Structure 1
């Protein structure tokens, strides 16, 4: 490994890492080398060394910083923000499982926060995601649109009935009504979906046509096919007779998601688990995948399988593990043991709130609209902030200290 005092000055490197321990450096080096990245750009010293070095050199395209030895990670990240280029893909390593910091980092645009100790598999996955993120930036070319403004969010339950459909509908409402983003909610449970029920509306008739002929999906088609709970929110769903829907063609969902992304700033897809197996192309191009789980043995098994599947079909997607229906029944597995087993952190918890759910059903509206002061509504707003600050928060608070990192 290189010593930090020998950090080169000059043209921009593809990759650099500033690590606090030798073992992590040794794990990262071969994976960097496999991608043609210079392993000599791995330095000891952590984030403090990164701040010193980047003050005298161009920031690399991919930057790994280790905050394990930092007495004040937020202050050090503030210092890093002053020397970090806007388009750098940032990965943060640390030893503390701090959900608040994790949320701040993701909201700012940091690719991932990895809790040590590292494994070869984790390093491989995060560097692959970083490489894919670089390619996505290249594909974006000279687009004037903020690359972080386009969102394709897929929601799925690790087991049935944990609340991913409720979460998807409420996120769609927040993005459209509160943040005023043109948003579409795609409900792929064509027989038993609840998206339209939650908004107390009748589904349109266009989803079957969209699945059979995704190339037809344009602005004119969508005007006829969707239903609109509010001016900025469209819902594409069906309540088809059981057995009446044909299996979509192999790449139909990928093309449909692309078409929706061309017409809406935010696309939220609520999918049953079986869709991932029969039509994994729905994951292609996803920016984020939300897995809603409980703390059961079966869910632990299936979270591992779902995560592997996502990494195979959408390695650049950020995966968010969320505990749903918290408090409804006793946990089978301790939270820490569950996280260690699935190799993911639970970034948010959705409490079971039967009173708020009843209020929403009686009012014929989504939870965040019908019961805005409930704990459940607050939890969903916190989850929405993973994809950009809530309007009500951003108007009341100064810009997050982390925002500088990728928005300078």
Structure 2
């Protein structure tokens, strides 16, 4: 049995015509609840596939145990221990013998345990017989990761539940590259262009600028949520939000240094879950830090945007971010790259095409340096499109809003050489 390799390596998607379709399938799968799963794999391919499933961000709450073995091995194990919420079984057994082989396992399974069977025989009669006898799903090999995750989701995620909103995380490749400005303008663009309820969460608690950029002075914000997770629900969140426009709300940072802001890995998980249930789009403005909690937030977001400026430090840091996020998010699309402050007078810089070719990635947007436009917007507490709708930057933010909400498809990544700048840095 063969399985699909879901490793995402920059530039390789062009070799696989089904890449975009598979990524689209994965994007439709909702995060799974806190359940326990035991998988019993007869082949190395299935074993590797389940390991890949376990690395996926949608399985973050799932307790997964992967075993090499058959249906008999599962029956022997659960004769002495309680069964999990779900058992996934791979089998090559002939249809006429399959129910007989399943009988010992059925005797030791808890009534609430679900079973997914992956077999080699495409037989509608067998499928009906298995479903009639309590098997939750029968899948014909070879199966892919979206197949497995979709099947598990169909069993444990309520189809009548409210759809979850999408989260878009913005992070800068270095300090001062303008990631927050990009995040704020994209949030405003998504909310105004599509009349979509959007929440902008400023996660830079000591130095966040969202309140300044939107000319707000809220008495409460994200600090009250992160330091009192036991109080957090939709009602409490609503009290913490500040209305910036008809469809945009702000979860502001305190921007004060009256305490230390040291957070554990999962400190922002409750907030992200509430945000997903509260609005169709959440924009996460992440500070230029590399900590357990920032890695966790980046790993959970539906989309990631890296903002860089065209210099050597940004090139190095962007490469490191792309590599780290590939490991954190092995089954997701690569992050989007925004190249900002391009063409600053008297500043030596790397040409935009060389910057992108060095990383083997296409820039989602290239924003020219315009001190007057961005300075006026910042000082007046307005967004770029509010200052000048016809400015090239305003059009760029509009295009980004379309891209990040899935209203347009990004062009294929460039297939150029490594580039002399990356060669100078040294490929890891």
TM-score by length of 1: 0.61
CA distance in 2, matches of 1:362, 1:335: 28
Question: Any residues of structure 2 matched to 1:266-345 within 5 Å, and which?
Answer: 266-277=281-292, 279-318=294-333, 319-329=335-345, 330-345=347-362
Deviation, structure 1 residue 310: 1.8
Deviation, structure 1 residue 154: 0.6
SS of 2:256's equivalent? Answer: coil
Does the C-alpha gap of structure 1 residues 165 and 401 become closer, same or farther in structure 2, counting only changes over 3 Å?
closer
Structure 1 counterpart of 2:276, from 261, 282, 288? 261
SS of 2:201's equivalent? Answer: strand
CA distance in 2, matches of 1:254, 1:158: 23
CA distance in 1, matches of 2:205, 2:339: 25
- Structure 1: which 4+ aligned runs deviate by more than 6 Å? 13-16, 128-132, 144-147
Structure 2 counterpart of 1:351, from 356, 368, 392? 368
Contact 1:183/1:232 (CA < 8 Å) preserved in 2? yes
Structure 2 counterpart of 1:219, from 234, 238, 243? 234
Deviation, structure 1 residue 378: 0.8
Contact 2:23/2:332 (CA < 8 Å) preserved in 1? no
Structure 2 counterpart of 1:203, from 218, 238, 241? 218
Deviation, structure 1 residue 264: 1.3
Does the C-alpha gap of structure 1 residues 183 and 64 become closer, same or farther in structure 2, counting only changes over 3 Å?
closer
Deviation, structure 1 residue 389: 6.6
Deviation, structure 1 residue 193: 1.2
CA distance in 1, matches of 2:317, 2:409: 36
**Count, aligned residues:** 288
CA distance in 2, matches of 1:362, 1:248: 31
Deviation, structure 1 residue 314: 3.1
CA distance in 1, matches of 2:195, 2:160: 19
Question: Any residues of structure 2 matched to 1:173-212 within 5 Å, and which?
Answer: 173-212=188-227
Contact 2:306/2:318 (CA < 8 Å) preserved in 1? yes
Deviation, structure 1 residue 135: 6.0
Structure with larger Rg: 2
Structure 1 counterpart of 2:403, from 386, 390, 399? 386
TM-score by length of 2: 0.58
Question: Any residues of structure 2 matched to 1:30-45 within 5 Å, and which?
Answer: 31=5
RMSD of aligned alpha carbons: 3.7
CA distance in 2, matches of 1:178, 1:222: 24
Does the C-alpha gap of structure 1 residues 194 and 317 become closer, same or farther in structure 2, counting only changes over 3 Å?
farther
Query: Corresponding residue for 1:104?
Result: none
**Structure 1: any 5+ residue segments left out of the alignment?**
1-12, 17-30, 35-44, 48-62, 66-87, 92-107, 110-124, 391-399, 403-408
Does the C-alpha gap of structure 1 residues 133 and 383 become closer, same or farther in structure 2, counting only changes over 3 Å?
farther
- Greater per-residue helix proportion: 1
Deviation, structure 1 residue 304: 1.5
CA distance in 1, matches of 2:326, 2:230: 27
Structure 2 counterpart of 1:165, from 173, 180, 187? 180
Contact 1:367/1:377 (CA < 8 Å) preserved in 2? yes
CA distance in 2, matches of 1:170, 1:401: 20
